[in-house]
């Protein structure tokens, strides 16, 4: 059986798999965002791709059969496909993280707890060169926690973008925004941008997002659309923090109306955050329902999730892409 939207939704909903790690190729452990610090790999089948975390307690198990990876559920074959090698963090992209630490303390994110490295520009440029030399680099994505201030991260990202333009690859940036970040990053040569709202449920935002107010991010997103244009501005919207489907639909539409493509991201609770948030990973049924809603709204506002060249929409590892996966 090849992966279809239903199977992918189930795999995302479970999110983890028991696999002998010697079957996995070159791995990079993500150092930013909610998946930071975990071992994971990309499984692809039927023109779709999913990222699964390695966990020997998972109800899913993967085995090798005739050169293919077979995922078993309840001991029976569920889906078969292959493992896709990553370039840096995801297939086809050099997705680099500048600061693996953060002054904010959003409760769904392990980065502040991991308190990792701040990579120098030289290190980051060398990583991208290595990815480019492998000959499969279709895009470059830059992300970061906030080491000292959002302004400093934007400045560093802009400097990197200027130095990475020589590869003639689309460059996407996902950082915490500042008043001027869209203008600065566009002038530097970035083509796509992502500022995460995380949740649009104000009560949940106040409870879990320990960074500047949501309204500030929304203003910056609006500004980003006027600078980068429709289909080039994205935002992560977490599903599973306790928000209702009605809240998601209402705000998904508000964001789409502004020209932004929201990415519905299934919540994950990192072990470093156990006990700090009440979250429930969405079921496959909920993910499919919300992705259908997303497709309808994106179509209504003339937005297309296939246009993105960098970051999560073309990667599709963690989410259902409303235009590619359905």
Q: Residue 12 or 72: which CB sits closer to ligand SF4? A: 12
Cα 154 to Cα 131: distance, rounded to the nearest angstrom: 23
Residue 95 or 176: which CB sits closer to ligand SF4?
95
**What span, in angstroms and rounded, lies between the C-alpha atoms of 235 and 89?**
19
Residue closer to ligand SF4, measured from CB, 95 or 208: 95
Half-sphere exposure of 2 (CA within 13 A, CB side): 8
- How far, in whole angstroms, is CA 285 from its chain's centroid? 21
Q: Shortest CA distance to 5 belongs to which of 287, 252, 234, 265?
A: 287
Rounded Cα distance between 149 and 60, Å, is 41
Q: Are 284 and 266 contacting, i.e. CB atoms less than 8 angstroms apart?
A: no
Residue 226 · residue 187 · CB < 8 Å: no
Closest contact distance (angstroms) between CB of 203 and ligand SF4 is 26
Contact (Cβ atoms closer than 8 angstroms) between residue 140 and residue 167: yes
Using DSSP's 3-state secondary structure scheme, residue 163 falls into helix
Name the site residues for ligand SF4 (rule: CB under 6 A): 33, 51, 89-90, 95, 311-312, 315, 317-319
Q: How far is the CB of 159 from ligand SF4 (least distance, A)?
A: 22
Q: To the nearest whole angstrom, how small is the minimum distance from the Cβ of residue 311 to ligand SF4? A: 6
Closest distance between ligand SF4 and the C-beta of residue 21, in Å?
18
Three-state SS at 44: strand
Specify the residue for token string 């840096």: 88
Q: How far apart (Å, rounded) are the C-alpha atoms in residues 257 and 254?
A: 5
Return the number of the residue (33 or 112) whose C-beta is nearest ligand SF4: 33
For residue 94, give the DSSP letter. Answer: E
The candidate with the shortest Cα–Cα distance to 97, out of 82, 110, 108, is 110
Give the Cα separation of 320 and 221 in Å (integer): 22
> Least distance from C-beta 65 to ligand SF4, angstroms?
25
Between 50 and 241, CB nearer to ligand SF4: 50
Nearer of residues 153 and 319 to ligand SF4, judged by Cβ: 319
Considering the complex, state which of residue 32 and residue 277 has its C-beta at the smaller distance from ligand SF4: 32
- State the nearest-atom distance from the C-beta of 136 to ligand SF4, in Å: 15
Query: Minimum distance between the CB of residue 186 and ligand SF4, rounded to whole angstroms?
Result: 21
């Amino acid at each position: 059986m090849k992966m279809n939207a239903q199977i992918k939704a189930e795999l995302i909903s479970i999110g983890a798999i028991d696999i002998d790690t010697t079957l996995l190729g070159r791995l990079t452990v993500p150092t930013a965002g909610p998946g930071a610090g975990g071992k994971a790999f990309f499984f692809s089948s039927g023109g779709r791709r999913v990222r699964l975390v390695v966990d020997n307690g998972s109800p899913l198990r993967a085995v090798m059969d005739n050169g293919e990876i077979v995922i078993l559920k309840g001991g029976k074959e569920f889906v078969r496909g292959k493992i896709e090698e990553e370039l840096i963090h995801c297939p086809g992209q050099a997705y680099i993280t500048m600061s693996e630490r953060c002054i904010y303390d959003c409760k769904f994110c392990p980065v502040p707890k991991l308190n990792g490295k701040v990579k120098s520009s030289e290190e980051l440029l060398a990583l991208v060169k290595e990815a480019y030399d492998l000959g499969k680099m279709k895009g470059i994505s830059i992300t970061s926690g906030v080491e000292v201030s959002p302004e400093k991260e934007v400045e560093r990202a802009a400097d990197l973008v200027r130095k990475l333009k020589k590869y003639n690859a689309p460059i996407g940036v996902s950082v915490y925004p500042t008043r001027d970040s869209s203008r600065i990053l566009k002038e530097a040569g970035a083509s796509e941008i992502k500022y995460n709202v995380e949740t649009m449920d104000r009560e949940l935002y106040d409870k879990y997002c320990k960074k500047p107010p949501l309204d500030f991010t929304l203003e910056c997103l609006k500004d980003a659309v006027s600078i980068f244009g429709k289909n080039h501005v994205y935002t992560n919207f977490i599903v599973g923090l306790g928000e209702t489907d009605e809240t998601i639909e209402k705000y998904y539409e508000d964001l789409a109306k502004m020209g932004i493509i929201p990415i519905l991201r299934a919540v994950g609770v990192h072990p470093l955050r156990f006990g700090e948030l009440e979250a429930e990973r969405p079921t496959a049924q909920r993910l499919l329902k919300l992705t259908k809603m997303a497709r309808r709204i994106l179509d209504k506002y003339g937005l297309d999730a296939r246009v993105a060249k960098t970051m999560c929409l073309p990667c599709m590892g963690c989410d259902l892409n409303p235009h590619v996966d359905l």
